[in-house]
Amino acid sequence: MSRARTLFEIRSIARSHTRTAINVLVGVMRCKDATPAARVSAANAILDRGWGKVAQPLQSGDDPLKMIHRIERVIVHPEDTSEEVLEREGAQAAAD
């Protein structure tokens, strides 16, 4: 079984429990007997899943305008494993 297939199956199983997990979080958030920390944690988890996480400011002292993003298109053979691709890219980067 390939690693990608295993990850796909794990994600699929986890996603099948989404409704139950959200209901548990809502229950904790609304529970008067839960600690305030647990209620806030549950509320934050619900908001994060529903609206996305709040953008965090950069922690480094660098000017954000100086950040460089790199996007590459890598063409691989369909039968190559991700490990083979990473090894080949690492060897190429070392040669550059």
pLDDT (0 to 100) of residue 68: 65
Task: Record the pTM.
Answer: 0.51
DSSP 38: H
Can you tell me the distance from the alpha carbon of 35 to that of 12, in angstroms, rounded to the nearest whole number? Answer: 32
More confident residue, 83 or 42: 42
Rounded to whole angstroms, the maximal C-alpha distance in the chain is 61
Mean pLDDT on 11-25: 93
Q: Are 82 and 65 in contact (CB under 8 A)?
A: no
52 Rama class: left (phi>0) / alpha (psi -120 to 50) / beta: left
Beta strands in the chain (DSSP E): none
Can you tell me the distance from the alpha carbon of 2 to that of 9, in angstroms, rounded to the nearest whole number? Answer: 11
Q: Are 29 and 42 in contact (CB under 8 A)?
A: yes
Question: In this predicted model, what pLDDT tens digit does every residue of 20-34 receive, in sequence order?
Answer: 999 999 999 999 999
